[in-house]
Structures are given as structure tokens and as C-alpha cells.
Structure 1
Amino acid sequence: MAATARQGRKNWVLSWLPAVVMAVVTVVDLTAGPGVGFLPLVSLGPAFAGLIGTWRRTALIGLVALLLCGGLGSYDGLFETRRGYTAMASVAGVTLAGVIAASMRGRREAELASVRSIAEVAQRVLLRPVPRSAGPLQVAVSYTSAVAEARIGSDLYEVVASPHGVRVIVGDVQGKGLAAVETAALVLGTFRETAHDEPDLAALAARLERSVAREVNGEKFVTAVLVEVRAEERAALVLNCGHPAPMRVRADGSVDFPRPPVYSLPLGLGIHGGEPPRAYRIDFAPGDQLLLYTDGVTEARDGAGAFFPLEDRADLLKAPEAEDALEALREDVVRHANGPLHDDAAMLLLRYWER
């Protein structure tokens, strides 16, 4: 909200800048007289308009600048020499350049708006809104892209209410760009289908492994953590494929990071051998919270190079609503980085509650 207000004030100042500049030049010219030679500076009006306004507004301001230049030139008697005509030519030339620049910028902005619209549609398909509640869980999700204009990236998440319980995945695809987005789409598509079919969480992970390995052929991998919560059990099954361990916040405020008994390779690297992923059970009772996240969160650095202290910020998750709690944590990560994040940061909060 504050950022939007600041942007609005900035746009207001910039929109009035051409008029203010021309007014200042007029006052200075009338005060100093014709001998100082301020008249050509009237062209600053259409020059600034071309940087921030439409081509029509730039042309209008240029016309006003030409009339102003002609009036001041006549008042100063400059048309008796070449100075008046030179000033008029300067204003006309800058106006023409400003109109061309504004027109080209308008086309680029229209193209960018089209790309954003397509990206938003792709985001809704790839990263669909998660349900706010699923079984015994309150759910909240946050995604912060490392690229200012990006809507989608290489991190992924999904929540599926399956016959086998509520199943969740959070993952991070190696690399960036469209290739990473394609791999993320593959993982999510496989998870959404398999989560309903496979009764065993390890079998679900094996299906994901085969899908990723078949498509990327060992050239890319995906770290992922899968969680399964059943309404009748006060526990969660966790399966970790080379991903950061989830953070558990107990009802009494204590914090820990349940580690897997055996570390497994990320999805897509099964051809290199290693231990197959195995699910492990952790206590997860009413009042507890489980935060799944990608390394863009814990590897966010401040100006001194210090990583984000996630464990020390667990108290931010005390807000009554899960979405408010996660938003507070996301804002703290951004403040810690004090600028754009160097990597996408996804977080998914599971809050166990009893109706």
C-alpha cells in the first residue's frame, strides 16, 4: 500500500514536470532579459514529456512550448535576428524527437502488458491458488520472484486433497528461464495426477522421479519435499528429495527442523544411484505449524552477507490467520534482503487446527 502511494506521488510529480520547467524558464527569461539566452531551454518541456507521457501529450506540450517560445521571442525582439528562429527550431526538433520516443515507449509498454497478461494466465495454470483449508489444515502460500517483472519462476507448490489424505509438494527446479518453468509444469502435472492414484508416498515420489528423469535426461534436477497429513492422525508423513527440511513450530512456540533418516538425491538424479527416498513420520498435532520453503528464503542475504535467520523469525507466524502470518514472514525476508532477492522464494504454511 505504501509503495503504491509513493509510486502515485512520483507519477504526479513527473506529469507536472514539463509545465513547471517551462514556467521557470519563462520567469527567468522575463526577469533576466533577452541578452542571457534562456529561451531555447523551453524545449525542456517537450523533452521531459517525451520521457514520461504519451505521444499526444508530448505533441500538445510541444505546441504549447512553440507558442511560448514565439511569444517570448517576439517580446524580447529576437526575431529581428536569427536567435528567435533558432530557438523555435530547437523546440520543434526536440518536440519531434519526444513524440517519436513516446510513441516507441508506448508500443513497448503495450507489448510488456501483453506479456504480463500471458504470464498471469500461465501462472494460474502452473501455480493454481491453493485451498485456504484442506482437511484438518489451514493453508497459506507465498511466492516472491527474484525478477521484478516476473510472475512465474522455477519454484513450485501444490496442495491436493486426495483419498489418502492431504498431500503437499514444495520444490525448486535447478536453473532459470523457460526450461525451468517447463520442468516445474511437468512435476506439478505428475503430482496432481499421481497424488490421487498412489496410496504410498514413496511410490508417488518414484513416479515423480521417473517423469523428471525421462524428460530432463540427467541434465536438470528438482529438489522437493512432500508431506501427507491424514485427518485421523496427529502426525505427518514427510518425504524429502534433497530439499531444505521443513520448519515445525509447536503449539508451545518451540521450533525444530525434522530431518530425514536418510538423505535422498533430488528428483531427476536417480540414475546416479543413492538411497531411494523414504517417508518418515513426525508429530503434527492441533496448534502446530509446518512451514515448507525453498532455499530462496534461507539464502536471502542482508547487506553484510548474513543469511535470513528463519528459526529466529518463527514468532512472526503467531498471527490468527495463516495468510497474515505468512505475509508477515515474507515481508521480513524482503526487508532482510533490502532489495531484490537473488533467487525465487516460495513458502507454504500448514497450520493444524480442529474445527
Structure 2
Amino acid sequence: MTGERPQPRHAVLSWLPLITMSAVALVDLVAGPSVGLLPLVSLGPAFSGLVGGWRRTALVGGLALLLCLALGMYDGLFAERRGFTAMASVAGVTGAGIAAAVMRGRREAELAGVRSIAEVAQRVLLRPVPLNVGSLRMAVSYTSAVAEAHIGGDLYEVVATPRGVRLIVGDVQGKGLAAVETAAVVLGAFREAAHDEPDLGGVGARLERSVGREGDGEKFVTAILAEVRSDHQVVFLNYGHPPPLVMRRDGSLDFPEPAEYALPLGLAVHGGPEAKPFTVRFAPGDQLLLYTDGVTETRDARGDFYPLPDRAVLLKEPDARQALERLRDDLIRYAEGPLHDDAAMLLVRYREHSEGAA
């Protein structure tokens, strides 16, 4: 793996203190002391404190003091107060720059620690899905709407059981740490129930009880559960979640929906229809995409929603991970900027018998 090249913008900022001091010195030599630019030599350590460490700032400050002393003597400013005032200005700004560099270094160290903790939390909460389970090939994509964040309110999981491969994709109400806590409750309950419960309805009931205890009827999670069976069938339970996308071997699309949508997980206390399983054919050569509304509700500059049915052609890419990456990149380009909501996608391919494991 090759090392990263310094970005041009960072290189310019690194040289900015020396460039500024050189410019001030040149103008002072050409225009003479009457212009009164000598105190501007202090811009060097000021800029250095913003972009460099405290040692570099101290070094630049020392150079600025020597430059100020040399120019002051050349201009004859130490015969009056102007020379000493300029030296004091440079020394004061250098001290302030060193203090700023120290505080910035501490904040960066704290931020690095927080990012490290977030990455560990991500590995625990959103574990990597298995790439291959029997005849199934899988890939996952997660894009957080929060800058610098790795996790959020969307969730996914894949569990292989003797009854079939069980999957979940969900979207927790709200954002921030509260949403992450609820996502952890759902995923923990799903990982246990997927192994224990004989049918998908039992898994859904366990999740409903877990979210209900956690949120007291105030929090909710839209979710879709799926069970891919060995008899070329997939069973779904939909709790107020966007319908899955099924791409057939011939390229045709299907968005299977239940006869009646159930309320999201956590809202059973308010009544409403129960989630009822429904079955869809899923045969070799077919693909299944589970996703959150951060995908379909992404808007472009005109306010139009992301046209997932039109973009599903991107899933024809032979490699599952590259196909999902292409779809994610297309979604970000469509938004023309950061997404306004988290977007999770889980792609499942039923491989042909003639295909290898790769």
C-alpha cells in the first residue's frame, strides 16, 4: 500500500507563515519604514499556531523575532519606541500562537480517542456480515448522515440458522446516542431470537417486546425481517418499513409488500394490525436488496426522490460488493452533498449453481 501524498491545500497552509513573513520583509525593504508594516511580521507565528504544532510555532516565532530585529535595525527603528513595540507584538503573538497550538493538539488527541471508540462500537454493534452463506452471496453498505460518524440509527444483521438465513434491516426513530442505544437493543434481541425461535413471527414478537420495554411506547423502529429458505422462498415480516427490492434473474424488479402494513416495532401498545409473514419466490440468479428510507427519501437539488427502480440496473455488476458500492456512490452523487439521513443497504444474491464461491 503506497503512502498518501500531501494535499496541495495543506502544503500551502504549511508554508503560509514563511510566505507571509517574506512578503512583509520585502514590502518593508522596498517601501521603507514609513509604511509601518514591521508589526505584521507577527502574522507568521499567528498562522503557524493555526496549522502547526507548538514546536513549529515556537520556531517560526523565533525566526519572526530575528527578522523583526534585523528589519528594525536596518530601518533605524530602535532609536524610538516603534522597534521595541514591533518586537513586543511579535513576542506576544508568538506566545498566543504556542498556546493555541497546544490546545488544538489536545482537542485533536481527544477527537482521535472518540473516533477510536466509535470504530470499536461500530464493530460491536454493526458486525461485518458473512460474505458467503451456502448459495448466498452478501454485501452491506452503511452511510451515516452525521459528519465524522461511523454509526447511527440504522441497523442490519445476518444470522445463519438451521431454519434458513435470517436478516434484519431497520431504522430507529431519531438520531444520536439514544438512537444508537435502541439499535443495540434491537440487534441484541435479534441475534438471540434468530437462533431460538422456530419461525420468523416468533423473532418479530421478541423484537417487539424488547423495543416496547426499552421505549415504553415512545420509541419505535421500522424494520423488515427476512428468512431465506432452501426451498427457493424468502419469508418477510414488515414493520412499517420500505418494501424490499427483488431483482429477478431476467432483470425484472419486484417490490413485495404485505397485504396490510404493521406498526413499527415498539408501538404495539397503541393497537393496529399485527405483522403477518408473506412469502416471495427467491431462486438462483435472483437478488434481494433491503434498505432504509435514507435511500429512497434522498432528494436532489430539485427536490425529487432518489429513483431506486431506475438505478437498480447498477446491481448487475458481477461482484456484489462493487455493485453495492456503485449504488452508494450514485446515491451520494444524486444528493449533490452530504445525505440528510442515514442510509443502510444489504444486498443478498442467490448464486447460480455454476458460479464459484468468489
- For this structure pair, what is the TM-score category when the shorter chain's length is used for normalisation? over 0.9
The reply to whether residue 55 of structure 1 matches residue 54 of structure 2 is yes
Q: Percent identity?
A: 70
Equivalent residues in 2 for 1:3-152, closer than 5 Å? 8-152=7-151
Cα separation, partners in 2 of 1:6 and 1:221, compared to 1, 3 Å: farther
In the alignment, structure 1 segments of 5+ residues that lack a partner are none
Alignment of 1:1-355 (within 5 A): 8-230=7-229, 232-355=230-353
Deviations along 1:144-182, one digit per CA (max 9) or x if unpaired, are 111112111111000011111111100001011211111
Work out the CA distance in 1 between the residues paired with 2:69 and 2:289: 68
Q: Which sits farther off after the overlay, 102-111 or 300-309?
A: 300-309
Give, in whole Å, the separation in 1 of the partners of 2:264 and 2:348: 23
Task: State the AA in 2 paired with 1:248.
Answer: V
- Is this contact kept in 2: 1:135–1:161, CA < 8 A? no
Structure 1 residues 5 and 296: CA distance shift in structure 2, 3 A = farther
Shift, 1:7, TM fit: 7.3
Distance 2:219 2:52 in 1: 45
Unpaired stretches in structure 2, ≥5 consecutive residues: 354-358
Question: Which segment is superposed worse, 213-222 or 297-306?
Answer: 297-306
In the alignment, the residues of structure 2 paired with residue 104 and residue 142 of structure 1 have an alpha-carbon distance, to the nearest angstrom, of: 36
State the superposition RMSD in angstroms: 1.5
1:11 to partner: Cα distance: 1.6
2:85 alignment partner AA: T
Distance 1:54 1:184 in 2: 40
| Cα distance in 2 for residues equivalent to 1:121 and 1:218 | 30
Partner amino acid, structure 2, of 1:114: G
Separation of aligned partners in 2, 1:306 and 1:24: 50
Letter of the structure 1 residue corresponding to residue 160 of structure 2: A
Contact 1:171/1:223 (<8 A) preserved: yes
The residue matched to 2:29 in structure 1 has which SS? Answer: helix
Rounded Cα–Cα distance in structure 1 between residues aligned with 2:219 and 2:188: 17
| Partner-residue secondary structure (3-state), 1:325 | helix
Aligned pair count reads 351
- Give the Å deviation of 1:6: 9.1
State the alpha-carbon separation in 2 of the partners of residues 49 and 98 from structure 1. 7
How far apart in 1 are the matches of 2:352 and 2:84?
A: 82
- Cα distance in structure 1, aligned partners of 2:221 and 2:134: 28
Amino acid at match of 1:225: I
Under a length normalisation based on structure 1, what TM-score does the superposition of the two structures give? 0.96
State the SS of the aligned residue for 1:265: coil
Letter in 2 for 1:313: R
Q: CA deviation at 1:132?
A: 0.9
Deviation at 1:224, TM superposition (A): 0.4
